[in-house]
Amino acid sequence: MQATIYDIAREAGVSIATVSRVFNNSSTVSPKTRDRVTTIAHRLGYHPHALAQGLAKKRTQLITAIVPVLSNHFFMEVLAGIQDRLADSGFDLNIYNVRMGDSLENQIDHLVKRGSAEGYLFISTHLPEKIGAILRRMGVPMVLIDDYHPDFDSVSVDSVEGAYLATKYLVDSGNRRVGMIAASPRSKPTIDRVRGFKRALEDSGRLIDEALIMTGDTMDRDGFTERNGYEAMRKLLDLPMPPDACFCSSDIQAIGALKAMAERGVHMPIVGFDDIQFARFLGLSTMCQPMYQMGFLALEKLLRRIGDPATEISHTVFSPQLVVRNTAFVPVVEPDADVIVRT
């Protein structure tokens, strides 16, 4: 099996304590002993056993990122930022994907009590109050990304403001009936974005027509899907008085909406939210979230807190930027044109 500290100690004629010291940079070991130990360790291909170290030091050098759904753009960008900050930190990253069946509370409770990570990153995971209180008491180092809670560090984007700016832009551009494609009314971002949308209309002296706030029927991923946007736009276009511009709560929905418009041969200005990679390519106007930076900063905060649990709690709220683009790709869709030629 793998070489252990005992093997090295035996060969080097020292105690295991000394070997351990060599690998923990405690200066209290003579150069020649250190040399002998490292040489032998190298020859034996020795690497400290992470688990044993973790148990003895009560430090696992592990960070767990908790995510609701995988394979979504926001998460991937954030993760890239996390990874880059992680690189020289000595920590490893664990991804915990929240399971649909079990309750979030159970899952987090279990996760944390198992004690395998030193810190947690909650990505777009609305923290239930009950769990928050428990974690608070346990003093678990954690940072919230894309969520807010007074008791924990957080990094987020101001959804209300983002929606406000997007809507204001559409109103100020001279559109009469500005609609909105929302996602699941149970999701925090949706709630905020609807609020920002309404506030912008109010501030512009417009009446709020609830019928123009639409969502699709497909509700997986809380409705943040192309399909949902597609469905929502179709419903909007079926209204007796359709909107003449539309704010979409996410880029992915905006893409579906574009498709629906293309099929009907209509066009209206739309603004998305997120600025995913393809928004730029598609020429989609949108509210840009600095996802990479959010991930990077979140890990930064987490490492600081692990290092010093007494650090003041801090909340960073990024202001999303409105990016105006010409919709450069004009959809010319022939529905069901896909043909699979060969299997």
Partner DNA sequence: CTGAAAGCGCTTACAG
CA distance 216 to 161: 24
Q: Computed from CA positions of residues 102, 106, 112, 115, in that sequence, does the dihedral angle turn out positive or negative? A: negative
Instruction: Report the partner that residue 341 touches, choosing among DNA, a copy of itself, none (CB closer than 5 to 8 A by kind).
Output: a copy of itself
Q: Which of 136, 177, 264, 280: binder of a copy of itself (CB under 8 A)?
A: 280
Residues 90-149 that bind a copy of itself (CB under 8 A): 92-97, 99, 109-110, 113-116
Whether 45 contacts 51, CB under 8 Å: no
Taking a C-beta distance cutoff of 8 angstroms, is the pair 313, 298 a contact? no
Report helix, strand or coil for 271. Answer: strand
User: By rule CB under 7 A, what string of x and - marks binding of each residue 41-70 to DNA?
Assistant: -----x-xx--xx-xxxx------------
CA end-to-end span of the chain: 46
Tell me which of 11, 23, 134, 323 binds DNA, using CB under 7 A.
23
Pick from a copy of itself, DNA, none: which does 201 bind, CB < 5 to 8 A by kind? Answer: none
* Distance, C-alpha 66 to centroid of its chain: 9
| By the rule CB under 8 A, 80 interacts with a copy of itself | yes
Tokens of 256: 């579906």
Region of 3-11, 244-252, 272-280, 327-335 interacting with DNA (CB under 7 A): 3-11
Q: How far is the CB of 51 from a copy of itself (least distance, A)?
A: 5
Minimum CB distance to DNA smaller for 35 or for 203: 35
Residue 338, exposed/middle/buried by CB under 10 A (0-12, 13-18, 19+)? exposed
Residue 193 engages a copy of itself in binding (rule: CB under 8 A): no
Pairing of β 178-181 and β 153-157: unpaired
Angle value at C-alpha 124, between 96 and 212, nearest 5 degrees: 140
109 binds, among a copy of itself, DNA, none (CB under 5 to 8 A by kind): a copy of itself
Q: Helix H segments across 13-49?
A: 16-23, 31-44
Nearer to a copy of itself, 207 or 337 (CB): 337
Using a 10 angstrom Cβ sphere, with 0-12 exposed, 13-18 middle and 19 or more buried, the burial of residue 280 is middle
Q: Would you tell me which residues interact with a copy of itself (CB under 8 A)?
A: 2, 45-52, 54-55, 60, 70-71, 76-77, 79-80, 83, 86-87, 92-97, 99, 109-110, 113-116, 165, 169, 226, 255, 259, 262, 278, 280-283, 319, 321-326, 328-334, 337-343
Q: Would you tell me which residues interact with DNA (CB under 7 A)?
A: 1-2, 4-6, 13-18, 20-21, 23-24, 27-34, 46, 48-49, 52-53, 55-58
